[in-house]
Structure 1
Amino acid sequence: MVRRFIRFLLCLVGIVFIGGGVFYFITAPNPLPESHWAGLGTPDTKNGEMVFWAGGCVSCHATPGSEGDAKLTLAGGLALKSPFGTFHVPNISPDEKAGIGSWTLAQFGNAMKRGVAANGEHLYPSFPYGSYTRMTDKDVNDLFGYLKTLPKSSNVAPPHDLPFPFNIRLALGGWKFLYFNDQPRVVIANADDTIKRGQYLVEGLGHCGECHTPRDFLGGFQSNMWLAGAPNPEGPGRIPDITPGSKAVGSWTQEDIASYLETGFTPDFDSAGGSMAEVQRNVAHLPKSDLEAIAAYLKAVPKH
């Protein structure tokens, strides 16, 4: 009887040990190797600036309340409230201590495309690496080069304020296992180069789905509701549906959408408001061909 009990305990310990090992293997951070980032050459900072505006970096990382050129000092500090707690946006200026000035391209690239911090930990998806993972390595390299040209800031943002169990970073590996991938959000048959460019901008750099797509109780996208609208993460109201089946955008032409992104005015002479006003000011820096590509993609995605 005693021997059976001991065998049972040993088997139980073995199962827990093996299960723990499998869990860690599945959920451990998975950065790309240093060699992946070698050989990309000198960054094209002009392209990096366009990536910067398409990615909306100033919207979160600029000092809250800053205006004009001061917004290019990416000191962080913005508090992002969510159902999981409050996230404090970090300093990504080229300051060597408070910012990312001492980072390597591999560290920056793995943050952008793998959600892995410079110290090897998982990053929270409040930083939209779930979208940025679709970036090309060239755009990552060019963006990193451009960020190095911006002003430094010694500001240190507060740590995230998250209750248990959301403060356990290892659990993010489970979230990534369920939701994180670099595949297209939707498949568009017979997409031409313009639509493909728009898909890259919307699904990747522009991370439009982060606000316009509803999420489940774990914070993952409801994949069958891509861009179908979602609760406003900043408070009351709702982020609109921007698929062709929507009441507003569905009736707009591609030219209407491109013009709205360029000017901030809708076809009926209303204007962008709320957080979209900031987004519009960012994408207005892009060439007209990119705005037209975004419009073409939005008219081609599935209706809801």
Structure 2
Amino acid sequence: MRKLLGTVALAGVVLAGVGWWLTAPEPLPDDTLSGLEGDAARGETVFTAAGCASCHHAPEAEGDDKRVLAGGQRFASEFGTFLAPNISPDPEHGIGAWSRDDFANAVMRGIDPGGAHLYPAFPYTAYARMEPQDLADLWAFMQTLPEADTPSQPHEVGFPFNIRRAVGGWKMLYFGRDWVMSGDLDPQETRGRYLVEALAHCGECHTPRDALGGLDTSAWLTGAPNPNGSGTIPPLTPGEFDWSAGDIAYYLESGFTPDYDSVGGHMAEVVDNFSKLPAEDREAVAAYVKSLPEGGAME
């Protein structure tokens, strides 16, 4: 019996070690940003398209105050409530003490400077597709923003979801960096794909999730329950969404639907961001949406 217990204990230690190894963070290659100079002007466009301020400005902030990334907004989910952190350049309460590589690993790999996994409430699974140059430009722009001395608040997440290392197992299942829509795309659709699947992370809301919170990419952009438990996020696929490309581009500029209804909820922030982008980008998103397959099923 003693020998059996010893064998079981050893097996448990080995399994725990293997699990610890498999769930280890996987940072970007050291040379990912090598030789890249960031351009703050271009970075402002990336910042806007990625919706950084939409989640990280303080609750109730308006106008220019939305560029003070003090955090504090609450995002409810079935796994708990996540609170957006302070990502201003403040060196104590924000990310002012981070290096550019720290920032890149957080945005594109979901890893904090201490090597811990970040929760995928932060859409790094989409940002992982970001071009390194865009990341360098975004970092340059972030340095121009005002500091905020508001401390970040802890997430309200209970056991077992508060085990950060377990996020590494989640990443093994869901953290792919390939494009969802593949095949032959023209230049406009390719730009639209980059905006929809990477920077604007549209799939995070418009695609259903499974029991572990992973996106069901076989039902890409077919609509989903609202994560806060109130209502649903509409589908964008043919058969369910019959707006023209012009309707889509105009909505992203003005917030008005073809029926003269107006945008509401968190989508209002998305429209505010897209209205600041070049018309070509809104048209590219429309082209991508109109090229989606029936039912969202990808080949």
TM-score by structure 1 length?
Answer: 0.94
Give the match for residue 77 of structure 1: 72
How far apart in 2 are the matches of 1:12 and 1:235?
A: 43
Kindly report which structure 2 residues correspond to 1:95-244, keeping only aligned pairs within 5 A, or say none.
Answer: 95-187=90-182, 189-244=183-238
Give the match for residue 243 of structure 2: 252
The equivalent position to 1:291 in structure 2, one of 279, 282, 285, is 282
SS at match of 2:118: coil
For the 8 Å contact 2:106–2:118, the answer to whether it is kept is: yes
Amino acid aligned to 1:303 = E
Give the match for residue 23 of structure 1: 19
Amino acid aligned to 2:123 = P
Give the match for residue 300 of structure 1: 291
Cα displacement (A) at 1:134 = 0.6
Give the match for residue 5 of structure 2: 9
For the 8 Å contact 2:77–2:229, the answer to whether it is kept is: no
Q: For the pair shown, which has the larger CA radius of gyration, 1 or 2?
A: 1
How far apart in 2 are the matches of 1:22 and 1:223?
A: 29
How far apart in 2 are the matches of 1:182 and 1:216?
A: 19
Amino acid aligned to 2:213 = G
How far apart in 2 are the matches of 1:234 and 1:19?
A: 36
Runs of 4+ in 1 over 4 A off after TM superposition: none
Contiguous gaps of at least 5 residues in structure 2: none
Amino acid aligned to 1:123 = L
Cα displacement (A) at 1:167 = 0.7
Cα displacement (A) at 1:7 = 4.2
Structure 1 residue 32 corresponds to structure 2 residue 23 = no
Cα displacement (A) at 1:21 = 2.0
Residues matched between the structures, number:
295
Give the match for residue 268 of structure 1: 259
Cα displacement (A) at 1:73 = 0.3
How far apart in 2 are the matches of 1:235 and 1:273?
A: 16
Cα displacement (A) at 1:219 = 0.5
How far apart in 2 are the matches of 1:64 and 1:96?
A: 21
SS at match of 1:37: coil
Cα displacement (A) at 1:252 = 1.6
Cα displacement (A) at 1:190 = 2.2
- Identity, % of aligned positions: 51
Amino acid aligned to 1:181 = G
TM-score by structure 2 length?
Answer: 0.95
The CA deviation string for residues 76-135 of structure 1, in whole angstroms up to 9 with x for no partner, is 011111111111110011111111111111100000110001111000001110111110
Cα displacement (A) at 1:6 = 4.6
More off after superposition, 6-15 vs 64-73: 6-15
More off after superposition, 109-118 vs 271-280: 271-280
For the 8 Å contact 2:238–2:290, the answer to whether it is kept is: yes
How far apart in 2 are the matches of 1:217 and 1:163?
A: 16
Amino acid aligned to 2:208 = P
Amino acid aligned to 1:268 = D
The CA deviation string for residues 193-228 of structure 1, in whole angstroms up to 9 with x for no partner, is 111111110000000011111111111011211111
